[in-house]
Structure formats: C-alpha cells, structure tokens
Chains A and B, each alone.
Chain A
Amino acid sequence: MNAPVVTRTTATTTGAAAGRRARASLAQLLLGARLTLAGGPSAWLRTAMTGVGVGLGVALLLVAASAPAILGARDDRRADRDPSSYLVGGPLAPSDTTVVAEPYETTTHGQVVVGLVVRPDGAHPPVPPGLSALPGPGQMMVSPALARLLDGPRGALLAARLPFERVGVIGAAGLAGPHELYVYIGEPRDRRPDAAPGSGQGFRIDHFGAPQRDASVPAVLTMLIIVIVAVLLLPIGAFTAAAVRFGSQARDRQLAAVRLVGADPGMARRIAAGGALAGALAGCAAGVALFAAGRPLAQRVTLFGSGVFAGDIRPSPALAALVLVAVPASAVAITLFSLRRVVIEPLGVVRLAPTTRRRLWWRLAMPAVGIALLLPLHAGGEEVFGRGKQAQLAAGVVLVLVGVTVLLPWVLDAAVRRLGPGPLAWQLAVRRLQLDSATTVRAVAAVAVAVTGAIALQMVFSVAEDRFTRRVSFGPGGESPGVTRLMVETGSPGSTAADLGRALASVPAARQVWAWASGGMTTVAPIGGDQANSQLSATLAVADCASLRRLATLPSCADGDTFLAVPGASSSGGAPPVISPEQLADPTARTPSAAALPGPGTQVRAGGYLAGLSDAGRAWVIPAGAGVVATRPDAPVSTLVLATPRAVGPELLDTLVPYGYIDVDRDEPDAYDKVAVAAARVDPLAHVLGFERTVVDPIFGQIRMSMYVGIAAVLGMVGASLLVTMVEQLRERRRVLAVLVAFGARRRTLAASVLWQAGVPMVLGVALAVGLGMGLGAALLRMVGLPPSFDWANIATISVATAAVVLGTTAASLPVLYRLMRPDGLRTE
C-alpha cells in the first residue's frame, strides 16, 4: 500500500497506475464493507450473526490470552502469604518480630476451609498480605466468601468449631480468588503453651512469602498443558472460521448482483473481502465488548475452587494484539479461499461442482506426521521439557487435531457416497449430504477436534491421576464395610485424651471410638554399627486400661502397666522385632528394616508429636515388666508402645497430645462436620482427617479442572455455532421447504430428515474422533512410558455427551423448521 507515496515523489506512469489500482481496490473493499454493514435487513442479520459468532470466539481467545495473568496472579498471591520461609536458613529464635504459624484445614459440607493459626512471639510480628494486623488471641479474620458461608444457613456446623471473635475481613491481596474460603486465627490463650500448636507442625517465621517460586513444571504437566491449549484453541478457531462464513450464500447472491452491474470477478472478490473484513472487525469489537462485560461476571463463577478476580483477567498485550490482527486477517483469507470454489456469474451464482474427489494421502499424512513427531518424545520421570521439545510436542498434537478436521470431509464423503436408500427423510438427508457436506462438516469438525482431544486427555489423566494423586491414610485398615474412619489430632494436654474419647463417643452414628495421648520416643543410645540412622524411634500411646484394650488384646492391665504392641499372628509378615538395650549396644547392630520396638529397660526421650526427633523430649525408661501383646486387627495402630498414665507420670503425659479415631456410619450425613464439632469441644483447633483422603497435586488439579471447564465451554460454543448453522441452512432452504409443504410433507418427515442430516456426520465425526483420540492418547501415554489403556466408560460418556449436544442443538432448531414450514417461502421476491 505504499504505491500512492511513490506516485507523489517520482510520478512515474506505472506508479500512478499502481496508485489508481490501489485506490480502486480500497474503494472496492470499502464498498464491500458498506454492503455488509448497510445492505438492508438481511445483510444486517448476516453481519450480526458473524459479529456475534466472531465476537464469541474473540472473547474466548482473549480469555485464553489472559490465562498466564490469571494463573500468575493467583500463584503470586498464594506465594506471598505462604509461611514456608522457615524452609531456608536455620530455625529462628523467638523474637519481637517472629510469629509461629500453623496450617489450619477443615472441611464443611464437602468444602475445604484452609488458613493459618498464628501466635506472635512479640509485638511486631510480620503481617501477611490482605491484613492490616494479625488477629489477637481468640480472634479471627475471614475471607468474604467464608464470612458469607458462616452467616449463611449452612454455616452452623462450621461456626461451632470456629468460636472466635471475627475482627476483620481478608482483603483481595491475600486471597487466591474471590470464592476462596480462608481464615487467620489468633491462637487462643488457653491453648497449652508448651505444645507446638495443633499437630505440632507450626513454623516460626519472620516474614510471609514463599522462599522460591519458580517450581519447574514436570514434562508430563507441560505435555498436558500444551495438549489442553491445542484442544481448546483449535475448536475456537474452527468456530470463528465457521462464523466468518455465516450467510455466505446470501453474500454470494449479493455479489452476483454486483457482477450484474458490471463488476469483474476480481472486484467481486475484493468486495467480498471488504465484507468479510467489516464483519470480522465488527466481531472483534463485539468480542472486546463481550470480554469487558464478562469480566465482572466471571468473578461470580467458582472456577478452580476459589474463583478468579476480575482484575486478574488481563490479556497479555502481545497475545491480545495477535488475536485482534489474526482474526480479521484469517477472515479475509477464509473468504477468498472459499470463493475459489464458486463462480460468481452476473445472473446468479454457479457453484463449481465438486468434481475432483477429495484426495486421501495428504489428509492421512497430517495425523501420521503428528504421531511420528510425538513418538520419539519421553516425558517420564523427573524430565523437564525444553523449548525445542515443547514445540515438537505442540506441533505433533496440532497436526493430529487438524488431521481430524481434514480427514472428516473425506470420511464423510466416502461414507455418504456408500449410504444406501431408505425412507424419504433418510433419502433427503443423505442426498443433501452428498450434494453439499461442507457446511455440516465445518460445524462437526469443531466437535470432532474437541472430542479427539478430550478422549486423549482423558486417557492420560486417568493414568496420570495415580501419579499426581496421593491417598493419605493413617494406620492400617480394618474398616468394616459401611463405615468411614476419621482421625482427630488436637493440641491439648495429654491428660485430656479421655475427654476427647467421651466427646467422640457422643457423636451420633459413632460405631467405635479410640482415644489416647500420643507422642513419640527416640532411644538415647545409638544403634550399634549403623552410621546412617543411629537412633531407634517408636510411637507412644498413653490411655487408661479400657481404652488400651480397644487397641490391643491385653492379658491383664492395671494403671502403671506398659505393653509392647505388635501386629497379631493373623497379620501378614513376621512380627516386628523387639530390640533389647544389649542388642542396641552391639557394635554389629544395624537399623532394622521393618518397624521395631525398643525392648524393656531401654532409655528413651519421649514427648509430644515431634519431640522424639529433637532433644526436647523427657527422659523415660521402658519399664522392665513391659510384655509383648498383639494389636487388634481392626485397631487404627499396629506397632507401638502402649502405656497407662501412671507408667509415664503426669509431666510426660501432658507433653503428649490427645489423638482419636472414630468409625461412623458411611451414610451419616455431614459425619465429618459432626466429628469436627465434637473434637472442637476439646480443642477448637483440632484437626479432623478422613481416613483415606485423596490429595491431588495442586498444579495437576488445576490443569484437570481447566480441561473440564474448557471442554464444557467448547462443547457449548460448538453447540451454539451448530445451531446458527442449522438455522441458517434452514433459512436458505425456505423455498424448498415451502414447496415440500405445498406437496403435503409431514412435519415429522422433515424433522427426521434434519436430524439425520446432523446425526450422520455427527456419528462419523465422533467415530473418527474416538479413533484418533485413542491413537493420540496412546502416543501421549507412550511418552510417559506407559502402555495404552482405554477407559471405555469414559469414551462412551464423552461420545454420548457430544451426541447429546449435537442432537440437542438440532432439536432446538426444529421450531425454526416448523416456522419456516409456512407458505411465505413460496412467494417470489
């Protein structure tokens, strides 16, 4: 477009001609834009459909361009409040500027509430973001969402275990998202001062903020992210491309009219390009508006558990610019490309008949090359992908997914050509597909890409889930069917263990209750010859005889007795060894491979939860009369030292912390909440844990969540686009429909034909997608070093969900069909 400038300076004749041509081209582009924007009601409708469609696509692309900011901001704020700075440097001494912070976690009605219990050592403790000051003893500050939950109808069971004075609300700077349930609790004064708070896992810190943030993402996760991005963006692209062509038949008629008044084919093309450009630009404007309007709404949605702050949804400028340039550019490219198959004649439009059969080889080559790119990659173990491998992976995935869209027209053509005769509705549908499958293919291709990706991802996820999901369990099993076992940790003095037992026994639907004062012990003398692990550690449980009998089978018991409990003969494997002080001192002794107990007469240091790992414990000698007993098969413990209160003495006892286990009916509603409320009577900060809890790696969890959300969004969007396409097709065919009605066609005949017309490509598309999806999934699994495994139930679910979307949207277009089955279509315009 620099020709006009040249004209002005050099004024050569060719320059002048080029300038005139450029100006004429520009005028034609503008004419196209004007025809699109001001071409009467039908042109308006067409532009509106394109604008809304492209706008939807652009808005989604802008959201995608904001993903780095969204995730980055969440991670930043999480890291800023993280108390794990204790991890670097040595342990801090208590000072005016330190605070002991202990993670708090509970669950209410299935929602997880997390936070920190804080105990400042002095007057100037550090303050996390979002707070102006730490809550004082017995006070708490909650996130807005938690405040709503506590004040709401379902907050009673939670409020009962957060009996603290609410003194403030956490600001946005201290929250991952607007829906996060977070709390800061000032440790109550009456809590045992010498015990570490709660489970004893408190950290003494002098500032908040994670020590390091750039956790390198394992290759497997990189792989998942790349695949998800490709799977989500490609259908959006396909959808946007389809939206650009909304109403193209009406456009072709308009061009024919332009040809009639003297435009040559080149002019017609430029006019078409101008129209497409105008539509796409309108779409971009609509998309930006939609994005801006949707941002505040996004805050209301609970995504990723805690939601997204509107302020975090900021597109990266480079990506946003790319979207806003690429969309109009591809709109023009798509339009010009689609016009290649059309001859625009002055007297109406003649389409080039699809004489050439679609070629198969390059369509097959695309996914094949894609798979070939994927196969040499290995993402197993701790491997981290560099740029090159990321690009190779992305290219491979994109080629396979694009392969779906290029194979689908061929598959559909080949299949439809072979479809046999049938009832009239079937015949109408099949003939329609034989004559022109392109429109339907465009709509179904987006579905097929989404399904291919979903199936591949599903395969990888179900396998990767095991890797990134830990099942946290406590003690050996022994749960009976129909029963859930929960574990309770408290930070109260050990002498209150009996209170905990009584509190738990009062829970409705409690089947069985265990409670004792728990601690650890470490031998004072090192194990003879072992350099690596020189001390023997064991668990200590102190309780009255009645409570101990629920843990182990005791021949006799009196206060003052001690027992060495090992799994009974029924349990697999030999009984763990009991190591006498003499054996311990033997210079050839090594650390036993299995759990072992120190024998009678051994000198140990014993105390609260972690006391055994430091010198903080109190000296104790395992009494000489301690005999070996068998733990009960259903008990939550296996190998430990059992003692009655008199055997350890009140001082040692009070450094221990009450522990409890409770079996409740699995059907009991809100069992967790009820146990937590009971435990809170002994210690409001008691920690209740499910016996088996699935802990998902947070990054993995986020990735999986985004996939579900994204695929649902894509399917919804594809459904919308399908609906527009169907309605448009029906409107284009209103004359034929009216003639069929004149001949007495029944509604159900025409409805069935519309359903067949969508159903046949849908079935073929899903079949192709399942095949390629399983191939892609197998290739991705191979990268992680795993054999392919197919989860048919999942594949069926995805296929059925897709079919439901396609048939649902088709069914939604039936009212339009019925409305068009009116004689208006017979009128000649």
Chain B
Amino acid sequence: MTPRDPSARAVAASAASAASAASAASAASAGAPGTGPARVGLAGPADPSGTSGALLAAVELRKRFGATPALDGASLRVDAGEIVALMGPSGSGKSTLLHCLAGIIGPDAGEVHYGTRRLSAMSEAGRSALRRGEFGFVFQFGQLVPELTCAENVALPLRLGGVGRRAARERARAQLARLGVDDVAGKRPGEVSGGQGQRVAVARALVTEPRVIFADEPTGALDSLNGEEVMRLLTQAAREAATAVVLVTHDARVAAYSDREVVVRDGRTRSLAG
C-alpha cells in the first residue's frame, strides 16, 4: 500500500493531456468508443504513472447540496477493465462521486472525462445515451422495476437502447443463465430473495456489455454469504468482459475483490493501493 499524494493537480494535468492527446491524435478511440479496436487499446493493465490510457477520470470535483459540501476536490481515474473500490464512512461523498462519474449529476466545479469526452460538455440527452450504451448500474436495493419480471428487468437497458423485444429477451435469458438465476426469469422482483434479486441486478448491469459498471453498495442489503457470491459473480463477469467497475462499499471484504482501493473522506479522495 503506497499512500498516494492526493494532490489533484497531477491528475488534472495528466487527464487534460490525455484528453488533448486523444483528440489530436486518435480519432479511432474518440470516434467509436466501445468498438473492437478501441476496447483492445484500452483493455491493457493500468499504468499507474501515466493517465493517457484512462477510461474515466474525475478531476477536482466539487459539489454542494445547500450548505453541505458532498465533494470537496475529489479526483479519480479508472482504467479500462480496472475494478476500483471507493471506500469511506457513511456520508463521505462516495455516492455523490459515483453519480458524478456516471453523469447522473453534474459537479459544481471540476471535470469528468470519459475517454476523450468531457461529460459537462455533453447535453443531458447525450449523457443519457452514454449511460444507455456504455454504463451499467447496480444499486443497494429497490432497483428492480417491481412490475416487470426479472427477465424483463434485465432486458430493460437493451430495450432502452433500442434493441428489439425478442433479441433483448434472448440476451437477457442468456445473461440470467450466466449468473445462475435463470430459474427466476419469469418471476417478479417481489417474489425472489434478496440475493437472487441482486444477481438479477448484476445481470442487468452486464447485459449491454458496458465498458463501466457503477455499483453503489451492491451487497449492502445482503448477508455476507450472499454478498460474497454476488461480488464473485460481478467481478468474474467484469474481468471476462474487460469491463471496468467502480464499486462503492464500506465493507473491506467486498473491497478485497477490487484491483485498487480509493478512500473517500469528507469529499476528498485518497488512494490506498496502486
């Protein structure tokens, strides 16, 4: 564990250079993220010293809710295929950071770069499209649409992205089978156990083959056995598909599934491992 200097300036500079280098030189990775060549290019092991290969980078994020500062200069980089755990006490700003990274909310100050794109420069519709196409989400609980069956819940992101009903159903079934919950496909979320529901949620996050999965305390409502199982399935599937994972947790055992841990405290980030 090498405590890293939390100085944001270095990250900011490197992120900025990554953006300019990419926009100047690499039209391929800018023009078609998620396509074969770009994925291969970014899928290599993380380079802790440079940031030119960063998939997702947050720079000096600040966000207030009224008088409460939720983020106070938080920075983070996530490389393609990397599993990063955000740890910290309750109320430290983990969820807020995750929401900013995913473009769900905009920071008051600072920048989030996804590949060569600046999220703040994109329209709301553009960010929605990005989330539909390239991101997946797992939350703590209450995230499955209660009136849809589990299979329909998994097919939901595909259908949001315009995939036809039949094709979406096939892919959803396959994904459920991969996570070992194909038996609950026809059931409603209210009729399945917490662990099964969370596995369905993981299936839903994976089904679009996203480049980043954001998981906010995915095991928070589960007992430790079920929690471990869900984490194993999530990380295994993510590694197979070279999907990056931003994992929010305050459970060290959960964080152990990550490649790298970042501590969030009072709205600031502090890396623990490289």
Question: Quick one: which of A435, A736, A743, A826 has the most chain B CB within 10 A?
Answer: A743
Cross-interface CB contact of A742 among B131, B145, B148, cutoff 8 Å? B131
In Å, the complex CA distance between A667 and B144 comes to 66
- Are A744 and B131 neighbours in the complex by a CB distance under 8 Å? yes
- Are B104 and A435 neighbours in the complex by a CB distance under 8 Å? no
In Å, the complex CA distance between A823 and B130 comes to 16
- Are B148 and A428 neighbours in the complex by a CB distance under 8 Å? yes
For residue A740, CB closer than 8 A to chain B, the reply is yes
- Are B147 and A434 neighbours in the complex by a CB distance under 8 Å? yes
Which chain A residues (738-754) contact chain B, with CB distance < 8 Å? Answer: 739-746, 749
Given contacts A744-B132, A827-B95, whether A431 and B147 have CB atoms under 8 Å apart is yes
Given the complex, which residues of B lie within 8 Å of A428, measured CB to CB? Answer: 145, 147-148
- Are A435 and B139 neighbours in the complex by a CB distance under 8 Å? no
CB distance from B153 to the nearest CB of A (A): 10
- Are A739 and B148 neighbours in the complex by a CB distance under 8 Å? no
Nearest neighbor of B208 in chain A, beta-carbon distance: A743
Which chain A residues (445-466) contact chain B, with CB distance < 8 Å? Answer: none
Cross-interface CB contact of A431 among B137, B148, B220, cutoff 8 Å? B148
- Are A431 and B129 neighbours in the complex by a CB distance under 8 Å? no
- Are A435 and B131 neighbours in the complex by a CB distance under 8 Å? no
Chain B 154-176: CB-based contact to A (< 8 A → 1; otherwise 0): 00110111000100000000000
- Are A421 and B165 neighbours in the complex by a CB distance under 8 Å? yes
For residue A424, CB closer than 8 A to chain B, the reply is yes
- Are B128 and A435 neighbours in the complex by a CB distance under 8 Å? no
Nearest neighbor of A739 in chain B, beta-carbon distance: B143
CB distance from B131 to the nearest CB of A (A): 4
Interface size class of B (residues with CB under 8 A): 35 or more
In Å, the complex CA distance between A391 and B211 comes to 72
CB distance from B215 to the nearest CB of A (A): 12
Nearest neighbor of A350 in chain B, beta-carbon distance: B190
- Are B152 and A427 neighbours in the complex by a CB distance under 8 Å? yes
Given contacts A424-B159, A739-B143, A823-B105, whether A745 and B148 have CB atoms under 8 Å apart is no
- Are A743 and B131 neighbours in the complex by a CB distance under 8 Å? yes
Given the complex, which residues of B lie within 8 Å of A668, measured CB to CB? Answer: none
- Are A735 and B131 neighbours in the complex by a CB distance under 8 Å? no
Given the complex, which residues of B lie within 8 Å of A828, measured CB to CB? Answer: 140-141, 220
Given contacts A736-B142, A826-B99, whether A742 and B160 have CB atoms under 8 Å apart is no
For residue B146, CB closer than 8 A to chain A, the reply is yes
For residue B102, CB closer than 8 A to chain A, the reply is yes
For residue A432, CB closer than 8 A to chain B, the reply is yes
Interface size class of A (residues with CB under 8 A): 20 to 34
Cross-interface CB contact of B104 among A424, A436, A742, cutoff 8 Å? A742
In Å, the complex CA distance between A739 and B201 comes to 11
In Å, the complex CA distance between A567 and B150 comes to 87
Cross-interface CB contact of B160 among A435, A743, A827, cutoff 8 Å? A743
Chain A 530-572: CB-based contact to B (< 8 A → 1; otherwise 0): 0000000000000000000000000000000000000000000
Given the complex, which residues of B lie within 8 Å of A736, measured CB to CB? Answer: 142-143, 145-146
CB distance from B207 to the nearest CB of A (A): 11
- Are B146 and A435 neighbours in the complex by a CB distance under 8 Å? yes
Given the complex, which residues of B lie within 8 Å of A749, measured CB to CB? Answer: 160
Cross-interface CB contact of B137 among A424, A434, A742, A746, cutoff 8 Å? A742
Given contacts A427-B152, A823-B99, A826-B99, whether A743 and B137 have CB atoms under 8 Å apart is yes
- Are A735 and B129 neighbours in the complex by a CB distance under 8 Å? no
- Are B156 and A744 neighbours in the complex by a CB distance under 8 Å? no
In Å, the complex CA distance between A735 and B141 comes to 10
For residue B216, CB closer than 8 A to chain A, the reply is yes
Cross-interface CB contact of A436 among B127, B135, B143, B147, cutoff 8 Å? B147
Cross-interface CB contact of B188 among A435, A742, A744, cutoff 8 Å? A435
Nearest neighbor of B102 in chain A, beta-carbon distance: A742
In Å, the complex CA distance between A705 and B99 comes to 58
Cross-interface CB contact of B128 among A351, A436, A746, cutoff 8 Å? A746
- Chosen A-B contacts, 28 in total, with CB atoms closer than 8 Å, are A353-B190, A421-B165, A424-B159, A427-B152, A431-B152, A432-B147, A435-B188, A739-B137, A739-B143, A739-B145, A741-B128, A742-B137, A742-B139, A742-B214, A743-B131, A743-B132, A743-B157, A744-B127, A744-B129, A744-B131, A744-B133, A744-B161, A745-B132, A745-B160, A826-B95, A826-B216, A828-B141, A828-B220
Q: A736-B145, A740-B156 are in contact. List 15 more A-B contacts (CB 8 A).
A: A421-B165, A431-B145, A431-B148, A432-B147, A436-B147, A736-B146, A739-B143, A741-B128, A742-B137, A743-B137, A744-B130, A745-B160, A826-B99, A826-B139, A828-B220
Chain B contacts to A: CB under 8 angstroms: 95, 99, 102, 104-105, 125, 127-133, 135, 137, 139-143, 145-148, 152, 156-157, 159-161, 165, 188, 190, 214, 216, 220
